[in-house]
């Protein structure tokens, strides 16, 4: 089974693709979709959809996993992130993929064993589970791989 993990953002959306065969996980690819910060929001969201569609078409995952949004102190930023997350949820669903959703604490607990783990701990454990991940990948891509791993564990396939 091939899983794409997605870490939504309006500026940068991380993506990571893994394969799962039995209990064995393997790294396929990871990256970040960056959308220009200028221009109307509708065009930025459309661009995110187009670029994410291309990634899904290229790697042909069977399932997708998306991190749930946390609410921050700035309501306007939270609303924009929610709109980007809507695009990130809709795009794989539009392509017929089942989409799992996970809270940051669920992801950390599945990867590290502790729901309030720090990012470096999550990155270290993700690399232990996927030892062929390149040394230098963006943090958003690393998070997306952790989301995909979480999905693979919780789906039990």
Span 43-56, mean pLDDT?
97
- Per-residue confidence at 156, pLDDT binned at 50, 70, 90? low
Q: How would you classify the pairing of strands 24-34 and 12-21?
A: antiparallel
User: Given 63, 67, 123, 143, which residue is catalytic?
Assistant: 67
pTM summary value: 0.94
Domain 2-155 belongs in CATH node 3.30.420.10: yes
For 68-83, write each residue's pLDDT tens digit: 976 667 788 888 888 9
67 is annotated as an active-site residue: yes
135 is annotated as an active-site residue: no
- Top mean pLDDT of 38-42, 52-56, 68-72, 101-105 is at 52-56
| Mean per-residue pLDDT over the chain, rounded | 93
């Amino acid at each position: 089974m091939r899983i794409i993990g997605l870490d939504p953002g309006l500026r940068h959306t991380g993506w990571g693709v893994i394969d799962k065969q039995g209990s064995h996980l393997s790294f396929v690819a990871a990256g970040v979709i960056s959308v220009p910060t200028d221009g109307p929001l509708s065009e930025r969201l459309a661009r995110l959809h187009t670029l994410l569609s291309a990634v899904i078409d290229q790697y042909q995952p069977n399932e997708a996993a998306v991190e749930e949004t946390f609410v921050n102190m700035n309501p306007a930023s939270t609303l924009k992130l929610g709109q980007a997350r809507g695009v990130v949820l809709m795009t794989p669903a539009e392509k017929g993929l089942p989409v799992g959703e996970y809270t940051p604490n669920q992801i950390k607990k599945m990867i590290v064993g502790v729901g309030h783990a720090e990012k470096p701990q999550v990155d270290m454990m993700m690399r232990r589970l996927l030892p062929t991940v390149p040394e230098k990948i963006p943090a958003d891509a690393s998070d997306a791989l952790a989301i995909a791993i979480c999905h693979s564990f919780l789906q039990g396939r």
